[in-house]
Amino acid sequence: MTLIAIFTVSGLAILTLLSAKSLERKRRKPFFVLTLISSGDIHVRSLYHRMVHLYSDSKEKSWFLLKKQVPIRSRNLLNKLISFIKEKREQYVGNMRDSRLLKKPDGISEFFKNMSDVEKGNGEVNEVYPDSSQEDKKELK
**Tens digit of each residue's pLDDT (9 = 90 or more) over 71-99:** 999 999 999 999 999 988 887 776 665 55
Among 14-18, 52-56, 137-141, which stretch is predicted with the lowest mean pLDDT? 137-141
**Average pLDDT value for residue range 99-127:** 57
pLDDT at residue number 23: 83
Percent of the chain with pLDDT over 70: 66
Contact between residue 20 and residue 33 where contact means Cβ atoms under 8 Å apart: yes
Q: Which residues is 103 bridged to in the sheet? A: 109
3-class SS of residue 78 = helix
pLDDT beyond 80 at 120: no
Q: How much is the pTM?
A: 0.40
Q: For the chain, give the mean pLDDT.
A: 78
Q: Tell me how far apart the alpha carbons of residues 43 and 57 are, in angstroms, rounded to a whole number.
A: 21
Most confident of 78-82, 90-94, 115-119, 129-133: 78-82
pLDDT band at 32 (very low <50, low <70, confident <90, very high): confident
Q: Are 40 and 33 in contact (CB under 8 A)?
A: no
